[in-house]
Amino acid sequence: MSNFGDRFVIFMFKKDKELRILILTHAYSNVISGGETVAAWELTKALAQRGIKIYVVSTFVKISKAKPHPNIKIYRVPFSQQARNFNQLDMFKTFLYSWPIIFLKKIDIIHLINTQGPHPFAYFKIKPFVSTADLEWDYQNPKFKNDLFYDKVRKKEEFGLDKKGYGFLDKILNKLAYYFFAFFKFNQLLPKSVDLYACRETKIIDYLKKQNYLSRTVFIPMGVDINKFNPKVEPVFNQKRDFTFLFVGSVAKRKGVEYIIKAFNVLSQRYKNIELLLVGPGAPSTVDYFKKMVIPNAKIRFVGEIVIDALPSYYVYSDVFVGPAIGSRFGIYKVAVEAMACGKPVILSRAYDTEAIGEEFGLWVEPGETDELVKTMEKFLKNPSLVRFKGEKAREYVVKNHSWSLLAGRMEKAYRLILK
CATH number at residue 334: 3.40.50.2000
Residues 396 and 408 in one domain: no
Residues 179 and 216 in one domain: yes
Residues 55 and 198 in one domain: yes
In angstroms, rounded to a whole number, what is the distance separating the alpha carbons of residues 122 and 107? 15
In a domain? residue 9 = no
In a domain? residue 235 = no
One-letter amino acid at 69 equals H
Residues 46 and 159 in one domain: yes
Residues 132 and 77 in one domain: yes
| Centroid of chain to Cα 354 | 16
Which of 46-72 are b and which e, b meaning 16 or more Cβ less than 10 Å from the residue's Cβ? bbbeeebbbbbbbbbbeeeeeebeebb
Contact call for residues 370 and 259 (beta carbons, < 8 A): yes
In angstroms, rounded to a whole number, what is the distance separating the alpha carbons of residues 263 and 255? 14
In angstroms, rounded to a whole number, what is the distance separating the alpha carbons of residues 224 and 229? 7
In angstroms, rounded to a whole number, what is the distance separating the alpha carbons of residues 148 and 168? 33
Contact call for residues 122 and 191 (beta carbons, < 8 A): yes
Residue 12: per-residue pLDDT? 42
Residues 157 and 51 in one domain: yes
Residue 1: per-residue pLDDT? 45
Residues 248 and 199 in one domain: no
- Tell me the DSSP string of 236-304: S-SS--SEEEEEES--SGGGTHHHHHHHHHHHHTT-SSEEEEEES---HHHHHHHHTTS-TT--EEEEE
In a domain? residue 51 = yes
Residues 85 and 107 in one domain: yes
Beta-bridge mates of residue 244 = 275
Residues 259 and 395 in one domain: yes
CA angle 292, 255, 268 (to 5 degrees): 45
**pTM of the full structure:** 0.87
In angstroms, rounded to a whole number, what is the distance separating the alpha carbons of residues 337 and 230? 11
Residues 303 and 334 in one domain: yes
In a domain? residue 107 = yes
127 Ramachandran zone, left/alpha/beta (phi>0; psi -120 to 50): beta
In a domain? residue 196 = yes
For 137, other C-beta atoms within 10 Å of its C-beta total 15
Q: How many CA atoms lie within 13 A of 260 on its CB side?
A: 33
Contact call for residues 316 and 21 (beta carbons, < 8 A): no
Residues 252 and 213 in one domain: no
Residue 238: per-residue pLDDT? 87
In a domain? residue 237 = no
Phi, psi values for residue 314, rounded to 5°:
-75, -40
In a domain? residue 205 = yes
What is each CA distance from 406 to 179, 217, 296, 371, in whole angstroms?
A: 42, 17, 46, 39
Contact call for residues 39 and 198 (beta carbons, < 8 A): no
3-class DSSP state of 220: coil
Residue 162: per-residue pLDDT? 55
Domain count, the chain: 2
- What element of type H or E holds 195? none
In a domain? residue 232 = no
Where in the sequence is the domain holding 177, given as residue range(s)?
Answer: 16-223+403-419
Nearest alpha carbon to residue 83 among 136, 162, 189, 137: 162
* Chunked mean pLDDT (size 10), the chain, 420 residues: 47 69 91 76 95 95 85 90 69 94 97 84 94 78 82 74 67 90 89 94 89 95 93 91 93 94 97 95 93 96 90 96 81 86 93 71 90 97 95 94 96 96
Residues 381 and 408 in one domain: no
Residue 131: per-residue pLDDT? 95
